[in-house]
């Protein structure tokens, strides 16, 4: 019966089996359409492709969406390529794939300008890294802040006029007041 119906409406078995990553919005067609960019077609016999979700992108003929890599995010639906994944924002890290927004602020003692994949990132040129000696980096900072005159830091930790005074009261030595 099914074969007769397929022959009657001029559809062969090969075009029915090729239906994954394809769809057909109309009845009685002899072929399916390839799933367009920005959409994916996970099943055969689909009449409408599924829009690519946030955090992912879909090239033409996708059966599943692809994740934006760590260090990036994508807030829009219907994205078509990895070039549409945004680098992680200033002060933030994108610690996993498939993000619709940056997920964590950089930890105090670290700075993040762009594309950070960790909240405690290793140094990568002008993009992110641990705070440098003589500076401090509060939670979610994009640039190290130099210690104020009269203060210095011997470690790449948080340091500042108020913070240094607190550290001296607690007899810690990573920040000292210059004489």
**Residues 91-130: tens digit of each pLDDT:** 999 999 999 999 999 988 888 888 999 998 888 877 888 8
- Residue 155 confidence class, pLDDT cut points 50, 70, 90: low
Which one has a higher pLDDT value, 121 or 52?
52
d(CA 60, CA 69): 19
CB 42 within 8 A of CB 64: yes
Q: Which residues of 75-93 are buried (b: 16+ CB within 10 A; e: fewer)?
A: eeeebbeeeebbebbbbbb
Of 35-39, 74-78, 132-136, the one with minimum mean pLDDT is 132-136
H-only helix segments in the chain? 2-8, 13-17, 161-169
**What integer pLDDT is reported at residue 87 of this predicted model?**
95
How do 56-57 and 50-51 pair as beta strands?
Answer: unpaired
Structure tokens at 162: 């108020």
CA diameter of the chain: 96
Lowest mean pLDDT among 14-18, 26-30, 65-69: 14-18
Coil, helix or strand for 135? strand
Q: Give the whole-angstrom CA distance, residue 163 versus residue 165.
A: 5
What is the DSSP secondary structure assignment for residue 83, as one 8-state letter? G
Specify the DSSP class assigned to residue 129. Answer: E
Please return the burial class of 52, using the count of CB atoms within 10 Å of its CB with bins 0-12, 13-18 and 19+: buried
User: Could you give the percent of the chain with pLDDT greater than 90?
Assistant: 37
| Residue 36 or residue 27, greater confidence | 36
pLDDT for residue 165: 43
d(CA 67, CA 56): 5
Mean of the per-residue pLDDT values for the chain? Answer: 78
């Amino acid at each position: 019966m099914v074969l007769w119906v397929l022959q009657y409406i001029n559809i062969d078995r090969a075009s029915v089996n090729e239906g994954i990553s394809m769809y057909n919005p109309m009845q009685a067609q002899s072929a399916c359409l390839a799933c367009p960019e920005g959409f994916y077609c996970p099943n055969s016999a689909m009449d409408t492709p599924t829009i690519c979700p946030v955090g992912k992108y879909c090239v033409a003929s996708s059966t599943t969406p692809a994740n934006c890599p760590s260090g990036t995010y994508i807030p829009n639906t219907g994205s078509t390529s990895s070039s549409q994944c945004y680098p992680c924002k200033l002060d933030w890290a994108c610690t996993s794939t498939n993000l619709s927004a940056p997920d964590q602020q950089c930890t105090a003692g670290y700075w993040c300008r762009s594309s950070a994949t960790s909240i405690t990132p290793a140094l990568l040129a002008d993009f992110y890294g641990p705070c440098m000696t003589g500076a401090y980096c509060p939670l979610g900072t994009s640039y190290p802040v130099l210690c104020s005159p009269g203060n210095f830091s011997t470690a790449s930790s948080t340091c500042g006029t108020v913070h240094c005074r607190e550290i001296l009261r607690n007899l810690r030595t990573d920040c000292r007041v210059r004489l």
